[in-house]
Amino acid sequence: KTPENADTPLDQLYPKHAETLKNAKLYPPKYPSINEVNEETETRKKLKEAKFERSYRRKNPRDIFFCIGFSDSWSSPVHKIISSIQSNFDLKWLRLKMSYPRFP
């Protein structure tokens, strides 16, 4: 992108590509300029980042991760024990995530 070609439509900058699109009948009614394409790309990028931020803030602060090493000493599976505590004490804010690594 240079200041000279910033407002030039893409079909004038890339005539072979435009001709190929026209032959394939995939050409748009009006070709955008580089500025228009860049603005649209930036807008999409900002919207995607905002959507990710909203989902991250909504989901992750409530997640609690339990990392339990492999063990046979529990009477029942650990996730069942935690789930029963969650239901018995009405801990609706608790989002259970389990990890069972095997330590050497």
Summarised one tens digit per residue, pLDDT across range 41-65 is: 999 999 999 998 888 777 666 667 7
Looking at residue 5, its amino acid is N
43 Cβ contact partners less than 8 Å away, ≥ 6 residues apart: none
Whose tokens are 């095997």? That residue is: 102
| Domain range summary for the chain, segments of one domain joined by + | 10-59, 68-99
pLDDT band at 74; cut points 50, 70, 90: confident
Question: Poorest-confidence range of 1-5, 19-23, 68-72, 89-93?
Answer: 68-72
Secondary structure of residue 28 in the 3-state scheme? coil
CB 96 within 8 A of CB 66: yes
